[in-house]
Chains A and B, each alone.
Chain A
Amino acid sequence: MRSEALKGHLDLLVLSVLHNAPAHGYAVIHRLADQSGGAFDLPEGTIYPALYRLERTGLLASDESVVDGRRRRVYRLTPAGEEALGERVGEWEQFARSVARTLAAGT
């Protein structure tokens, strides 16, 4: 899937893959690819603007540790992020149902 198709949805997807377990950027991009069955195989750098944006808005927090001699930053959902994820999933499900109904009526 082209990365343009994900515009507007990347934040929701990032929140979703971090819902169950914190992860660093490399793991986030690979979880996205794995959980989508390879559909969301994005250029790996595209994940960082989303991570920085979500952290700036308080939906994610991060901690740094040293792994194999390298500084690694691990992101996790904040309580506000958990709440936002719940709201956005609800909105997405409503949107998807509406699109499906519209498409079904037109075919």
Chain B
Amino acid sequence: MGAVRTQRRTHTGGGDVSDDPIDAYLATLDRSLRGRPNRGRVLAETEDHLRESAEHLERSGMPAAEAAREAVSRMGAAEPLGRAAGGRVAAGAVLVLGWVAAIGLLATAVAVHGPGQDGPTPGLPLLLVVGAMAAGVVSLLAAAAVWTWSSAIASSDATWRRAMAAFAAASAFGLVGLGVHVGKHQSGGTRALARSARCSASRWRRLSSWCQSAGSS
């Protein structure tokens, strides 16, 4: 595990960069594994493979430095290994999509009923803010479910694996519960949204007519 520790120090900017080809390979792999829950596992497994391969080559008479280079060469590129480890892309995509939706909804709420546009219809912005919060919560729950499930699979410890699987199940259960709750109140929410949209349209018409009259006078 020495090399893995070396690479982590290098990553944080505090350590030296080793000349060992195996260390360099692990550093590249470490970068491609950033943000993945099974990073430690994949790094340790790859290091074990490379060191064992180099040891076998050395036993067959190859000099140590050449054996390390040959072990790395036989392993192939590091990036596909990082991609194959899975976990990050799915959870990250869910999180990003959720927060983009949340920010979009909040921006819409501000644009429709922002400062300087006071009025008697708080329904639509309230719904948009609640929608933004719901999108954020859903994305967090979904990302937690994906991430913890990946961790559960990747973990070597049975207790931790069970705990992570339970958390993933709880997150998934939360998502289902939220879906059921939204489904139950969907008709009321839709009516409120339609009512708010009508109010906003009415306000937009008033604003347009005020602009036209101001322009003509």
Contacts and interface: CB of A to CB of B under 8 A. Distances in A.
A binds B: yes
Interface of A: 24-26, 43-46, 48-49, 52-53, 55-56, 62-64, 67, 69-73
Interface in B86-100: 86
B153 A63 contact: no
B77 interface: yes
B76 A71 contact: no
A24 B48 contact: yes
Contacts of B85: 52
23 contacts: A24-B45, A24-B49, A25-B45, A43-B75, A43-B76, A44-B76, A45-B76, A45-B77, A46-B76, A48-B46, A48-B81, A49-B80, A52-B84, A62-B156, A67-B48, A69-B1, A70-B47, A70-B51, A70-B52, A71-B44, A71-B45, A72-B45, A73-B48
A62 to B, nearest CB: 7
Contacts of A52: 84-86
Interface in B56-97: 74-78, 80-81, 84-86
B53 interface: yes
Interface of B: 1, 41-42, 44-49, 51-53, 74-78, 80-81, 84-86, 153, 156
B74 A73 contact: no
A83 to B, nearest CB: 20
A44 B156 CA distance: 22
Contacts, number: 63
Contacts of A24: 45, 48-49
Nearest to B149: A56
A72 B52 CA distance: 10
B52 A73 contact: no
A56 B81 contact: no
A26 B53 contact: yes
Given A26-B52, A70-B1, 11 more contacts: A25-B49, A26-B49, A26-B53, A43-B76, A45-B78, A48-B46, A52-B86, A64-B41, A70-B48, A70-B52, A71-B1
Contacts of A72: 45, 48
Given A56-B86, A71-B1, A44 B48 contact: no
Contacts of A56: 86, 153
A45 B156 contact: no
A26 B41 CA distance: 15
